[in-house]
Structure 1
């Protein structure tokens, strides 16, 4: 009974600290929003995080070239849970120029909410640090650079972020969900994301004499039209997947038959076998289409992020924690997205889960898509995210 009462006291203490520091939380987010830094350039953000942690008395170390790994040591022995927030901005021009905290950097913007993630984790760190003597274990804090390049998580793991970690948890602000709602379901959450590049080589010549040429424009166009059937006709319909051609560069002049064509695109799916299959089929389709016209094809397939698959027990814990902290009505079921997240690389090292916290509010014009120049968040969601970070850590360590 005493132990149960103590857990409830700490649960309430976390909520109290988050609410007491809600104005500071908003100020931090706005500061970071106005000073966006692109992937691997997060020098000011890293310095700010380090200073904040130093003021709290939390031990940390900088990673190279940017990023921070910190640990809150609990007063009692136990497991270690990791909490991750990303920090980088995007090369997007801010269109919300009327905001007092609009980006000060031309062509750079926090158009995906990473400013919010960093602010929320710092505030969660403050709450957890205040109850550290009662923590039955440790909390690892990961402030990650370069998520937008799908490179940061790998590098943080390489530099020791997941050493001795038993479980890992992350959050993403989500403008497609109502403010303060929380979604975390077992199974697929974000898709794997790969890049492909196909280079066709034909035989150029004068536009008036196509019979002497092998037109790379025709080859490339045929490939673009036919490659969609890789998904529609060769992949099991119960395994969602997307193949998108986003770029095609072909030809040099209006009256010259193109000798070369370069096509670039992306592949998204959740199933590893489907991923392997699509890669193989891309190679096959490119070679066969080229052969029909007497051209050649070279395929480069680059694997990016893996699918984010929420581990069952961790996802259930998020639901329990969110329900206890915010009420059962806060729970929301957001369908898996074909968007990508390099959080997947942490899940290679330990079980865990990735939650979405809603920030969409039509009255505050915060329902714009991520990566759009008018993207913004309903700042009422900040306290929800900060508390979810902290309560998850407390809940996991007390299992």
Structure 2
């Protein structure tokens, strides 16, 4: 939060300024009541990611007890739910940073479908190299993200309204343009094109460390199929992208000037502007980032599944916001954690896939998400009040 606490030093300086320095024996064994003592637990409780980490531990305990013997925590099961968490985690990193800056982007779900079509139509029907189509998709998505941010700044309308409009605009454009150029809403064959392109294949398609997992299979640490291939062929590329995005986001937020600007803009953008923070640049940059995350999601999905569809990304904007809120981000801005958002995404993946390993009806998944969101908001509001009282 960028709040500095040097009460002890200030108290000492105040005493010297008043010329009332107490005798050494008078203060021995007595603490200054103006200095608030912090315990390790209160410090831990004040971390924005505390609730998400605690929730993740609880969720793991529940599923170890309920589905531990069903293969959920075998290597193939781990890859299943971690891949779901990774896709959402990519979105949650961008959504969390934008929420800390006090804004929302409800168009990222529609951006996924639109970006997928920007990859599929040029590569399948216009015979572009898929690497060029991917660059085109990233450029188009980030331009739309910049437009979102510019409209929010220029019109001073809530980002909720502006991006809600783009949610419908992009979904409609995806459907209309896919019918116009390809006469269909689902375009297949992208996977084969990506596999033939060395850049797309290396960056976005399939798994990494395949040879290492083959070796693990031959020494008996990983199960082998009848054809001699390992049951788990490697680490899905989306997991590596998620880790990269999470590390970059957490480092930026904690260790850079731009991270301080994000907190300042979300806390009080008028005060931030008065002390020289480039509010416009910060907000537009973060809208560009959320669009980049949505496009990355789309590119990974299209290359991995091998097709693009006009309805891809449905409701993903709300799932990303839920992950960020579970991770400690406040709806009012100025507070949050990328690490917490990633744990929120992990909870989502574990529950969504883990529930299929149990006898619980999957229809209860929505109930769980709603309860988790409500508890997270209540906890985050409590932490906000606690932080405000400590200033």
Using the size of structure 2 for normalisation, the TM-score is 0.26
Greater strand share, 1 or 2?
1
Higher relative contact order (CA 8 A, sep 6+): 2
- Could you say which structure has the higher helix fraction? 2
TM-score in terms of structure 1 length:
0.26
